Amino acid sequence: MGRRRLSASSLPEAAGAIPDPFLPELRWPFGRLDALSQDELRESAYEIFFSACRSSSTPAGTRPSAAAGGRAAAPATAAAGGAKNMAVTSRLKRALGLRARKARPMAGAGGRPMPSAEIMRRQMGVSEQTDGRLRKTLVRCLVGPQMSKKVESLVLPLELLRHLKLSDFSDAGEHRAWQLRQLKVLEAGLVSHPSVPLDRGNPAASSLRQTIRSAELQTRPPDVRALSAVAMPLSWRSVDSCRWADGYPLNVHLYLSLLRAVFDARDETAVLDEVDELLELIRKTWNVLGLNRMVHDVCFTWLLFEKYVATGQVEPDLLRAVLTMLEQVSDDAEMQLDGLLMEPWHLRILAATLASMHSWAEDKLLDYHEAFGDQAAAAGSMDMENVVSLAVLAATMRGALVVDAAGGDLLSAGAGASSSSSAAEQVVERYIKSSVRRAFTRLHENGTAGKMDSMIVEVEEDPCETLMYVAAQTKELARVEKEVYSRVLRQWHPCPTAVAAATLHGCFGALLKRHVSRMACGLSSEAVRVLHAASKLDKSLLQMAAEDRPLHGRQTEIAAAMTSYDVDATILGLVKGWMDDRLTMGAECVRRARDSESWNPRSKAEPYAQSAVDLMKLAKVTVDELLEIQVPSSSCREELQQRLVDGIDHLVYQYALLLVASCGSKESYVPPLPPLTRCNQDSKLVQFWRRAAPPCQVGADSHLSGSGLSCGGVDIAKPRLVDQQQAVRPATSRGTQRLYVRLNTLHYLFAVLHSIDRALFTERHRRARSSPFDHARPALDAACHHVSELSACRLVFLDCAHVLHQALYQGEVSAARMRPALRVLKQSLAFLAGVLSERAQPLAVREVMKASVEAFLTVVLAGGSGRAFSRADYGAVAEDFASLKRLFRSFGVAEEAVEREAAQAEGVLALMAVSTEKLIDEFLKHYASAPTAPDDELPMALPPTTRRWSRSDANTVLRVLCYRDDEAASRFLKKAFDLPKRR
């Protein structure tokens, strides 16, 4: 489609001030000119442009050459004649891919086209009055003898100062400002930035500075002759040409002011359709400014880039044009380097321009997630593909140039500016890693941003919550990376997804490692759930890296470097550490129980020790939490469960040992046996004592030993007389009650262990494996038997001593029967049933039965000097023993158990009904068959006492004889053993 040229009214009379080129986003690559403002540079640039165009032999309507826009431009169709110079379309814009401008209304009746020079004037904001002054001055300069003189041979500021007077300006102020500008341009071109370096202390340069300073201080016009006298030698130091405006960076600043005119003043993102003609005219200034095509291409590339950035990066065509021009600059630089045509300052502006563009592109690409968002692959306000192309191309071009960073001097230059695939791959990989890390850091910061309250006080971060959020966002970030960014970056890198996945994997792995250390002391099912999420992310990222061009060398290297998080091992280690902490707490509970447990009931509802409650509560909580934890595999779960079972097993085993150790022993409560004596039937004192002395009662909690065990004799220590008809009180002491608490505690431990076993293992597992708690269960069993036996001995031999082995049959059988003792035992058993748990009662009652039977036999066989039995007493004794058996049957002891326990005792009691002669014969029979051979000499040795009372035991039969109130028995004992009589 053709494009109409600008009409006379399509541009404003003045385009306005040129925007500041020093954008904060860009590093200005061409150096600064502090002495000249942008407007002053623009006005001076137009004067050079006007002079170059008017003095040129080429007509204004000449077809522009390809050199005007570089090789990217082709000749544009033009009409003959200046006013009719009208291009249908811009070949340069078409070559660069620039969009067409919007149509403008034509001016005048016939829509008269505007000449290129007029467009340039308006674009640069030069008034018609200024343009007229320049035309008049140029005519004066080039008339007469100077007609053959070229404009590049003129020092234009001097010529303008020489020919323009005050009358050519509207007022003196404008004239004065114009004069000062010419002086500053003259100083900048000849002294401050000369193309040929000045010798230090150059007299002409010093004179020119002094002359300009004097002119600036004076109000009258400067002395042009004096200026010429010092300026002309400086401008003609080069024998071949006049050089006053071709020093860097002045020449580039002036040239950039001209090139900016190709941008539409009304649409900053558009290049004029007349750009071909304008560039052809601007090219005429190259001789004056000392430029060539490469410098032009660098400057034009920069302006396209600068305009793209300055207009908010909304026009991607500009950036694509920059890429096209950069490729041309690369070719130009390579050609000039090969031909050794490039001057050092050419290399400096090229290197600085590339550095600025590359720096801008890298700022975007080092965090492309932030710069481009999730729509980077689509055309939008930021075109990621073009920016990556720019960064890669600029980086590879810079790699071909080695410039001294300090002085800016060229050290070496490589031929060829095109990037190699390996260099581009390294550059893009660096962008991927940097951007992914920054994106990951942002999402982590976003995850913890909510941990601030309204007073901006940081609260403790929850690692589980943070990791859960970061894991989910990391997965989403990886998806966006794969579906959006990798599609763009794959042009330069073979496996960008693998690089991104590996980077995310490393970032999350470091975060995971840091947070795992904080989880160690507070492991929970939530923490393990988060670790499982991390495991899923781990597998997802590893798979993503493995699928991105598999078998490619770089992908294989990246995937091999990714080490799995091994979350299963982490979970296993954390659970073990957490479990060890809990077991350590359990060991502390056991230690506290050993040091401070009082064995008082926790409450009526929980009649067991507080230390056991603490220990088993810790065990149950630990088991419950372990069951909630998602252990990686069944084998790991079994390993952890067994580890916990072993730990609890050891703790309960230790607790059972300390519980037993705190009880004491049975021997502490069973009274010692008194020495064997023979009945003293003839003793009048004994007969009197039997008739006069009532049974005695010893305090329930007194610990009996030595002579304080028997009643009715002189060996009773401080007896307390009680009426036999007095109501019998319960006899369970505090110490016995604490033993009951221990029994309840043991069965409580049993119950909790059973519930833990049921929770951890199925029935099938329990059948397939050895019984859990294989140390604790036997220890608890043994402890239950020990404490039950101990509590029974204490109850019978200590708490009930006053009505049982101390009072029963004391003095006379008929006067001290079993009924009071049965009442006390019944009440004590009732108390026992009310205190002990149902599981503890059967064993405890059986042990009380055993102790009661033992106490009954002790009364009959070792009752001390206050007891003596005749054959006639057997009936009463047997009746009392039958009553004792009925008592225990009433408390739930099975008939078989009662009979089994009573069988041997009844056999012993039956000896009481045997005649003395038969007793002696039976004794001698058992004595002769004893393991130790009997001595034939008299007196014989007493058979050993084992307290295992039995009718076949010689010691048992001997004791029946000792307590037989019979003269024959007394004589036998005197003759055989020389036993003393009772006293």
Give the tens place of pLDDT for each residue, 175-224: 999 999 999 999 999 999 998 888 888 888 888 898 888 888 887 778 88
Distance CA 49, CA 361 (A): 34
Q: How many CB atoms lie within 10 A of CB 523?
A: 23
Helix (H) or strand (E) holding 697: strand 696-697
Q: Name the E strands within 306-433.
A: 401-403, 410-413
The two three-digit tokens of residue 934, written as one number: 């009997």
* Listed residue (631, 801, 635) closest to 716, CA to CA: 801
Q: How many CB atoms lie within 10 A of CB 220?
A: 6
Distance CA 830, CA 838 (A): 13
Q: What is the mean pLDDT of residues 941-963?
A: 91
What is the rounded (10 degree) CA torsion for 279, 285, 289, 295?
20
Task: Name the more confident of 717 and 468.
Answer: 468
Summarize pLDDT for 498-551 with one digit per residue, the tens: 999 999 999 999 999 888 887 766 677 778 888 889 999 999 999 999 998 887
Q: Are 824 and 830 in contact (CB under 8 A)?
A: no
Q: Is the pLDDT score of 978 beyond 50?
A: yes
Q: Is the pLDDT score of 931 beyond 70?
A: no
Alpha helices (H) along 30-90: 38-55
The confidence score (pLDDT) of residue 521 equals 61
Q: What is the mean pLDDT of residues 365-391?
A: 77
Distance CA 602, CA 583 (A): 23
The two three-digit tokens of residue 560, written as one number: 């091999």
Query: Is the full-model pTM beyond 0.85?
Result: no
* φ, ψ for residue 597, nearest 5 deg: -70, 130
Find where tokens 């035309």 sit: 135
Q: Is the pLDDT score of 449 beyond 70?
A: no
The confidence score (pLDDT) of residue 238 equals 74
The two three-digit tokens of residue 65, written as one number: 């050459």
For residue 179, give Cα distances in angstroms to 38, 47, 125, 242.
17, 13, 19, 22
* Listed residue (422, 394, 521, 407) closest to 463, CA to CA: 521
Q: What is the mean pLDDT of residues 465-475?
A: 89
The two three-digit tokens of residue 846, written as one number: 């059986």
For residue 563, give Cα distances in angstroms to 45, 543, 559, 566, 689.
63, 12, 9, 8, 98
The confidence score (pLDDT) of residue 453 equals 41
Angle at 871 between CA 869 and CA 876, to 5 degrees: 75
* Listed residue (211, 150, 166) closest to 186, CA to CA: 211
Q: Helix crossing, 734-760 with 610-628: angle to 10°?
A: 10
Task: Name the more confident of 79 and 628.
Answer: 628
Confidence of residue 337 (pLDDT cuts 50, 70, 90): low
Summarize pLDDT for 76-96 with one digit per residue, the tens: 333 333 333 344 378 999 999
The two three-digit tokens of residue 200, written as one number: 């230090």
Three-state SS sequence of 238-290: CCCCCCCCCCCCHHHHHHHHHHHHHECCCCCCCECCCHHHHHHHHHHHHHHHC
Find where tokens 């160690």 sit: 520
* Amino acid type, 826: K
Q: What is the mean pLDDT of residues 8-32?
A: 60
Q: Is the pLDDT score of 37 beyond 80?
A: yes
Confidence of residue 20 (pLDDT cuts 50, 70, 90): low
Q: Is the pLDDT score of 613 beyond 60?
A: yes
Instruction: Say which residues have a Cβ less than 8 Å from residue 561's Cβ, sequence separation at least 6.
Output: 502
The two three-digit tokens of residue 141, written as one number: 């300069």
Q: What is the mean pLDDT of residues 758-773?
A: 72
Confidence of residue 790 (pLDDT cuts 50, 70, 90): very high
The confidence score (pLDDT) of residue 654 equals 96
Q: How is the chain split among helix, strand and coil, in percent rounded to 5?
A: 60, 0, 35
* Listed residue (881, 839, 861, 854) closest to 959, CA to CA: 861
Q: How many CB atoms lie within 10 A of CB 483?
A: 12
Q: Are 451 and 459 in contact (CB under 8 A)?
A: yes
Alpha helices (H) along 311-461: 316-338, 344-365, 368-372, 384-399, 421-449
- The half-sphere exposure of 57 on its side-chain side, counting CA atoms within 13 A, is 4
The confidence score (pLDDT) of residue 749 equals 95
Instruction: Please report the sign of the dihedral spanned by the C-alpha atoms of residue 64, residue 68, residue 70, residue 72.
Output: negative
* Listed residue (431, 301, 385) closest to 30, CA to CA: 301
Confidence of residue 341 (pLDDT cuts 50, 70, 90): low
Distance CA 251, CA 247 (A): 6
